[in-house]
Amino acid sequence: SSIPFLAPSSLGSVTSSSSSSSTYLQKKPTICQKPPGHVKLSKPVALWTVQDVCKWLKKHCPNQHQIYSDAFKQHDITGRALMRLTDRKLERMGIIQEAQRQHILQQVLQLRVREEVRTLQLLTQGTTQHTFH
């Protein structure tokens, strides 16, 4: 009966005992060790080129990726710019349909969360080589 309480507490509160959360995170494989489909996450999103962003679009928005890629290339959307996209910016880039903009923003939000988790894992492991501004 103690197992159901263990997982949420080690996941839910980052401020609890840091030793338990660091051992929990160290047991999990890092994002860098994922299969080839996830290679691009081995470098921080902030360092992504326009090309990397287009690869990400192809994977996460397969139906519309050609249209999106053209707009993203035209507006020179790098990883850093991708993380700062808003509904208004997407509209100005020519993505007229609100549903499409919302889909892109949803994917960006998930990417941001993954990147935050990755940063936390690096910090927990004592790795400070990646600093984000």
pLDDT tens sequence across 60-115: 999 888 989 999 999 999 999 999 999 999 999 999 999 999 999 999 999 999 99
Tokens for 98, please give them: 């609100």
- Percent of the chain scored above 90 by pLDDT? 52
The residue that leads in pLDDT, 42 or 9, is 42
The pLDDT confidence band at residue 122, using thresholds 50, 70 and 90, is confident
Domain ranges of the chain: 32-122
Q: What is the DSSP letter of 61?
A: S
- Angle at CA of residue 126, ends 26 and 8, nearest 5°: 40
Rounded mean pLDDT of 42-60?
A: 93
The second-level CATH assignment, the architecture, of 32-122 is: Orthogonal Bundle (1.10)
